[in-house]
Amino acid sequence: MAETASISERVIQRLIEASDLEVEPGDVSPATSLRDDLEIGSLQALTLIMDLEEDFEITVEDDEFEQLRTVGDVIGLLEAKQQ
């Protein structure tokens, strides 16, 4: 479970950096919407995924990227890719 927390914390930190809003880590949950809650646009999302690919040494396919709607979606994808 420690690995999951580590992934979650890293993803949340990257999302906060990508967002134009003043967001605290405690305000972000798996249900948080990338677009509606964090106001992350398409270009920001692409940059975010490229950063996460580098951080986690994975590749996110276009169809996987298009399915990402929430923080939980991003965390779940990264967890699946780490196995």
C-alpha 40/C-alpha 42 separation (Å) is: 7
- Domain containing 26 — which CATH number? 1.10.1200.10
pLDDT digits (tens, 9 = 90+) for 1-53: 445 558 999 999 999 888 888 999 999 999 999 999 999 999 999 999 999 99
Sorted by sequence, the CB contacts under 8 Å of residue 3 that are 6+ apart come out as 82
- Give me the number of domains the chain comprises: 1
- Which structural domain range is residue 51 located in? 2-82
pLDDT score for 3: 55
